[in-house]
């Protein structure tokens, strides 16, 4: 499979009469988008806002972040099986509005959504302080159930990102990257001396605001399976979760999975990127046993020399992580796991909820319990009404001067376990 | 600004008294810097100065622990130290243990910053690296020249109360506390590099060594549950509606104790969950799903259990460190014991 990804640089975003891209600026007609969103009768109202890098803006409670992309050549379309017709993606040509993002916010569903600060200390911890964000703020219809509300908000965010992404199709990319993924036999023939490496991606699947969808399939109802890594670049995996926003993969993370990018960067040089396995993180023990059995079985069957395992979430999924690691190591395949830590605010607690001696190669995205005080920012998009209640907040954390104190876990993407960031801990 | 006053602890060997045959040397206080102290003073430039040096034989210290500690504390106190430095001990075992022991004692008794240095395999490192800043050195005194500047720099940071970075940044042995910092490469790249080394059989360093996991064997079965008082404890965050104690949705800083005298059923109107780590919809509809008061009341009436304890204990397991969980459990376990509860049903989510 071969996918060419063309990046069109977006340096600014602005409201305008016509929705278009001109000289690196994304212009948006909010009225058009509004009527599109309101076609969904579950949503009572929607308003749009703009947040640029460096502005004194706080966005909360954030549900998802999505990158606008368009399919230019090849089968299928962006967000297959969800926004567009089901068809296998990951081949041909895709364009990206690089530097732009759609951010969905609105009244919380549970306790769970995150914070994005566009400047100040908080901006250092979230990757989305560096994107030009179109913020979509929903008001759900009175009496709508949390599950329905979450689904409506998710769908609307994807629809808007898809619509904006379409603009990129006719543009000339500033930069192009080619990702070529050989079939198993081709790979072995081409790189007989390189170690065959796989990627095991664990997907959060514990229920409301903890779900992930693959080609529209709710991952908690799927058995462990395989994907061609380029499929993720066309939106095959989408996020339905942001609980403890620091370590949940937004759709943007899935579209730009850094493990996939970094394995491709070494592909044909120091390793042969041979397979990608996706598995879930369900709450029942039987599901955990089944999924990790299957993960190990597939890795063994594929005869891989090594795999990188990325986790999503913490606590309960630590069990899935350790099961996957232990069972894969037992097949003779070497593992490196990527996780984050809950070592307590002072950093002196044990960091994981499960452990095993075979997990001897670990990359950490940092301690999510670290406390930070975020300065008052001039403008809030969304509401601070839930800042005490969201995961990472606590009673009395909004100070009179307008600053807020939270654990890093409240900041969207701060300790992402795909290894998206530079942050670590020792 | 005046210089920070440093008291430095060294053994008989580094004081130039002699080797093993002089290891019984009793604690002795000298003015100014002695032995490696000169190098420390040079590294401090004008910011700090060793005012007193304590010399003590390794055997004396370890064989007369209580007397030695007492004498040394008095000496450090008398010198009006702002900071206490011991060693570096490199790979000298008894010296390393002495450095760690006295640093811990000074920290506890006098509350001033303390620092030592040693080789990672020194037995003192294993004993104290979770409690103290121990600068990592090589295994031989030949590396004094590189060890002292690292120790001096960290000592000054500790003295000024500056935020101490992660162990890899500051050069101390990992184990004391996890500290966040920004790496040069993103996590995914570090994972690829680590995997390449691991597959090739080359040395690599994990970013978090696996802890010794605390596994608790279950207690023996209760002999006669029809006579027992049964209590409910949950990490599923069930609280009276409105969350009166404002237990956090993640990383709980407390647990709640709530009276259920006369409560037969937890309803949508009366109870809810504070937990932010699972789908709260079903627990909010009927909190008995997480904290089964209704069933236990029935069992109570039917005589299947002795009685349901009139209090339940609850916290949010979500994002709560194991250390905090342990502390809460220790507290309310004692209360449960004092209330003669024989059985606890612990529900998680």
Query: B228 in contact with A at a CB cutoff of 8 Å?
Result: no
Q: For each successive 10 residues of chain A (426 residues), what is the average pLDDT? A: 97 97 97 96 96 97 96 98 97 98 87 88 98 96 90 95 98 98 95 98 90 96 97 97 88 98 98 98 96 98 98 94 98 98 92 93 97 96 85 83 92 97 97
Q: In percent, how much of chain B has pLDDT > 70?
A: 100
Cβ <8 Å between A343 and B178: yes
Q: Is B208 on the interface with A (CB under 8 A)?
A: yes
Q: Catalogue the active-site residues of A.
A: 242
Q: Say if A418 falls within a structural domain.
A: no
Contact A262 B191 (CB under 8 A): yes
CB contact under 8 A, A145 and B281: yes
| Backbone φ, ψ for residue A20 (5° rounding) | -165, 170
Q: Do A420 and B182 touch (CB under 8 A)?
A: no
**Does A425 fall in a domain?**
no
Q: Give residue B278's pLDDT.
A: 84
Whether A367 and B178 lie within 8 Å, measured CB to CB:
yes
Would you tell me how many other CB atoms lie within 10 Å of the CB of residue B162? 10
**Residues 6 or more apart in contact with residue B39 via CB below 8 angstroms:** B144, B145, B148
Strands A217-218 and A43-51: unpaired
Q: What are phi and psi of A275, to 5 degrees?
A: -165, 155
Any B CB within 8 A of A392 CB: yes
Q: Tell me how many degrees the CA angle A273-A275-A280 measures, rounded to the nearest 5.
A: 130
| Strands laid side by side in the B48-56 sheet | B28-31, B48-56, B4-11, B83-86, B114-119, B134-137
Quote the strand ranges of chain B, DSSP E.
Answer: 4-11, 28-31, 48-56, 83-86, 114-119, 134-137, 180-182, 229-234, 238-240, 256-259, 271-273, 307-308, 311-314, 343-347
- Say yes or no for a CB contact (<8 Å) between A263 and B192: yes
**Which residue of chain A comes nearest to B281, CA vs CA?**
A146
CB A241 within 8 A of CB A210: yes
Q: How would residue B1 be classed by pLDDT, with cut points 50, 70 and 90? A: low
Measured between CB atoms, does A109 come within 8 Å of chain B?
no
Helix (H) or strand (E) holding A261, with range, is helix A258-266
CA-based R_g, chain A, Å: 21
Report the gap between the CA of A246 and the closest CA in chain B (Å): 11
What are the residues facing A114 on neighbouring strands?
A62
Residue of B nearest to A391 (CA): B250
pLDDT on residue A112: 67
B248 — contact with chain A (CB < 8 Å)? yes
The C-alpha of A419 sits at a distance from chain B's nearest C-alpha, in angstroms, of 4
B residues 169-198 near A, CB within 8 Å? 169, 174, 176-192, 194-196, 198
Q: Checking DSSP bridges between strand A92-98 and strand A100-106, what pairing results, if any? A: unpaired
Residue-wise DSSP of A128-152? GGSSEEEEEEEEEPTT--HHHHHHH
C-alpha distances (whole Å) from B304 to each of A30, A135, A210, A263, B308 are 64, 57, 38, 59, 11
Contact B190, B302 (CB under 8 A): no
Question: If you search the block for the tokens 């993180």, which residue do you land on?
Answer: A281
* pLDDT at residue A384 in the model: 86
Minimal CA separation from A259 to chain B, in Å: 5
Is A349's CB within 8 Å of B322's CB?
yes
Please give the helix or strand (H or E) that residue B335 lies within, else none. Answer: helix B322-338
CA-based nearest residue to B35, from B17, B62, B21: B17
Q: Within a domain: residue A422?
A: no
What does each C-alpha distance from A402 to A374, A406, B148, B340 come to in angstroms? 9, 13, 45, 48
Whole-number Cα distances in Å, B180 to A19, A99, A130, B34, B323: 42, 27, 21, 37, 18
Whether chain A has a CB inside 8 Å of the CB on B268: the answer is no
Q: Is A103:A65 a contact under the CB 8 Å cutoff?
A: yes
Which chain A residue has its CA at the smallest distance from B180's CA?
Answer: A425
pLDDT of residue A401: 86
Identify whether the C-beta of residue A218 lies closer than 8 Å to the C-beta of residue B279: no
Task: State the Cα–Cα distance between residues B169 and A309, nearest whole angstrom.
Answer: 27
Beta-carbon neighbour count of residue A47 at 10 Å? 14
Q: What is the phi/psi pair of residue B73, to 5°?
A: -60, -45
**In chain A, how many domains are there?**
1
> Looking at residue B176, what is its pLDDT?
87
- Please give the ipTM for the structure prediction: 0.97
Reported as a single tens digit per residue, the pLDDT across B159-218 is 999 999 999 999 999 988 999 999 999 999 999 999 999 999 999 999 999 887 777 888
B166 to chain A, any CB pair closer than 8 A? The answer is: yes
pLDDT class of B99 with cuts at 50, 70, 90: very high
CATH code: domain B4-170 is 3.40.50.2300
**Are the C-beta atoms of A243 and A205 separated by less than 8 Å?**
no
Chain B residue with minimum CA distance to A247: B319
Nearest to A312 by CA among A232, A167, A419, A424: A419
Task: Tell me if B196 and A283 make a contact (CB, 8 A cut-off).
Answer: no
Residue A336 in domain:
yes
Interface of A with B in 33-72 (CB under 8 A): none
A416 belongs to a structural domain: no
Would A417 be classed as within a structural domain?
no
Alpha-carbon distances of A324 from A203, A317, B204, B222, rounded to whole Å? 13, 10, 21, 35
Q: If contacts are CB pairs under 8 Å, which of residues 287-346 in chain A contact chain B?
A: 305-308, 310, 314-316, 334-336, 338-339, 341-346
Whether residue A245 is contained in a domain is answered as yes
Q: Are A164 and A29 in contact (CB under 8 A)?
A: no
In B, which residues are within 8 Å of A353 by CB distance?
Answer: 322
Does A274 fall in a domain?
yes
Chain B interface includes A148 (CB < 8 A):
no
Q: Which whole number is the average pLDDT over B220-238? A: 95
Residue range B240-288, pLDDT digits in tens: 999 999 999 888 999 999 999 999 999 999 999 999 888 888 999 999 9
Determine the angle formed by the axes of helices B37-44 and B144-160, rounding to 10 degrees: 50
| Record: contact A407-B251, CB cut-off 8 A | yes
pTM beyond 0.80, yes or no: yes
Would the CA dihedral through A170, A128, A65, A61 be positive or negative? negative
Domain span at residue A398 reads 2-410
* Residue B320 Cα distances to B138, B143, B247, angstroms: 37, 42, 11
The domains of chain B are located at 4-170, 225-347
Considering only the beta carbons, identify the residue of B176, B206, B246 that sits closest to A360. Answer: B206
Residues 6+ apart with CB under 8 A from A359: A321, A322, A325, A326, A335, A337, B210
Q: Residue B344 pLDDT > 80, yes or no?
A: yes
**Distance (Å, whole) CA B335 – CA B330:** 9
Element (H, E) at A382: strand A379-382
DSSP state of B164: P
**B319 vs A356: CB contact, 8 Å cut-off?**
no
HSE-CB at B194 with a 13 A cutoff on CA atoms is 28
- Does the CB of B211 have a partner CB in chain A at under 8 Å? yes
What pLDDT is attached to residue A400?
Answer: 81
Please indicate whether, in this complex, the C-beta atoms of B279 and A208 are within 8 angstroms of each other: yes
Strand, coil or helix: what is B10?
strand
């Amino acid at each position: 499979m071969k996918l060419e990804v063309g990046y069109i640089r977006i340096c600014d975003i602005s409201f305008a009469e016509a929705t278009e891209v001109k000289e690196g600026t994304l212009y948006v007609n909010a009225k058009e988008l509004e009527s599109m969103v309101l076609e969904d009768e579950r949503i009572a109202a929607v308003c749009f806002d703009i947040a640029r890098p460096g502005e004194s803006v706080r966005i909360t409670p954030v549900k998802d972040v999505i990158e606008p992309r368009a399919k230019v050549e090849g089968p299928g379309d962006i967000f297959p099986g969800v926004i567009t017709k089901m068809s296998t993606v990951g081949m041909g040509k895709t364009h990206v509005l690089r530097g732009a993002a759609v951010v969905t916010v609105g009244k919380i569903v549970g306790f769970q959504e995150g914070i994005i600060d566009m400047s100040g200390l908080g901006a250092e911890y979230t990757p989305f302080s560096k994107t030009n964000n179109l913020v979509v703020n929903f008001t759900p219809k009175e009496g709508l159930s949390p599950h329905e509300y979450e689904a409506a908000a998710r769908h609307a965010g994807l629809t808007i990102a898809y619509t904006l992404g379409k603009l990129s199709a006719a543009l000339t990319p500033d930069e192009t990257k080619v990702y070529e993924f050989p079939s198993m036999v081709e790979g072995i023939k081409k790189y007989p001396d390189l170690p065959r490496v796989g990627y095991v991606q664990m997907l959060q699947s514990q229920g409301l605001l903890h779900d992930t969808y693959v080609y529209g399939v709710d991952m908690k109802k799927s058995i462990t399976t395989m994907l061609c890594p380029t499929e993720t670049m066309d939106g095959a995996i989408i996020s339905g979760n942001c609980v403890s926003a620091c370590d949940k993969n937004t759709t943007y993370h899935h579209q730009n999975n850094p493990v996939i990018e970094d394995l491709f960067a070494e592909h044909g040089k120091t390793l042969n990127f041979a397979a990608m396995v996706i598995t879930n993180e369900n709450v029942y023990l039987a599901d955990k046993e089944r999924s990790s059995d299957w993960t190990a079985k597939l890795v063994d069957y594929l005869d891989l020399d090594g795999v990188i395992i990325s986790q999503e979430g913490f606590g309960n999924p630590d069990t899935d992580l350790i099961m996957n690691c232990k069972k894969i190591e037992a097949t003779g395949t070497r593992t490196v796991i990527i996780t984050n830590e809950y070592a307590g605010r002072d950093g002196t607690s044990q960091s994981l909820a499960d452990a095993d001696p075979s997990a001897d190669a670990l990359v950490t995205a940092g301690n999510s319990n670290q406390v930070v005080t975020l300065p008052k920012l001039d403008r809030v998009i969304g509401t601070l009404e839930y800042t005490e209640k969201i995961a990472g907040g606590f009673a009395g954390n909004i100070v009179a001067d307008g600053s807020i104190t939270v654990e890093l876990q409240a900041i969207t993407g701060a300790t992402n376990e795909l290894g998206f960031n530079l942050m670590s801990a020792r | 600004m005046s210089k920070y006053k440093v008291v430095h602890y060294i053994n008989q060997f580094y004081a130039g008294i002699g080797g093993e045959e002089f290891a019984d040397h009793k604690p002795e206080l000298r003015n100014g810097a002695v032995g490696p102290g000169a190098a420390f003073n040079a590294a401090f430039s004008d910011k700090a100065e060793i005012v007193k040096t304590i010399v003590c034989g390794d055997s004396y210290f370890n064989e007369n622990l209580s007397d030695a500690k007492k004498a040394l504390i008095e000496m450090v106190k008398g010198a009006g130290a702002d900071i206490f430095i011991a060693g570096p001990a490199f790979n000298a075992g008894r010296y390393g243990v002495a450095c760690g022991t006295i640093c811990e004692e000074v920290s506890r008794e006098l509350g001033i910053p303390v620092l030592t240095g040693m080789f990672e395999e020194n037995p003192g490192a294993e004993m104290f690296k979770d409690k103290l800043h121990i600068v990592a050195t090589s295994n031989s005194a030949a590396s004094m020249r590189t060890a002292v500047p690292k120790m001096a720099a960290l000592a000054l940071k500790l003295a000024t109360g500056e935020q101490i970075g992660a162990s890899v940044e500051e050069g101390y042995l990992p184990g004391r506390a996890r500290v966040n910092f920004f790496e040069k490469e993103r996590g995914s790249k570090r994972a690829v590099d680590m995997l390449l080394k691991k597959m090739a059989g080359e040395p690599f360093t994990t970013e978090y060594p696996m802890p010794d996991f605390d596994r608790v064997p279950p207690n023996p079965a209760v002999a006669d549950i029809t006579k027992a008082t049964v209590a409910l404890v949950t990490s599923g965050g069930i609280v009276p509606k409105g969350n009166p104690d404002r237990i956090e949705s993640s990383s709980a800083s407390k647990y709640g104790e709530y009276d259920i005298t006369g409560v037969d059923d937890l309803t949508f109107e009366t109870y809810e969950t504070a937990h932010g780590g699972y789908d709260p919809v079903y627990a909010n509809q009927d909190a008995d799903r997480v904290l089964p008061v209704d069933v236990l009341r029935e069992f109570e009436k039917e005589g299947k259990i002795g009685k349901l304890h009139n209090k339940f204990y609850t916290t949010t397991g979500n994002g709560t460190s194991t250390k905090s969980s342990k502390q809460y459990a220790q507290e309310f376990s004692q209360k449960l014991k004092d209330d003669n509860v024989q059985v606890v049903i612990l529900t998680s989510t």
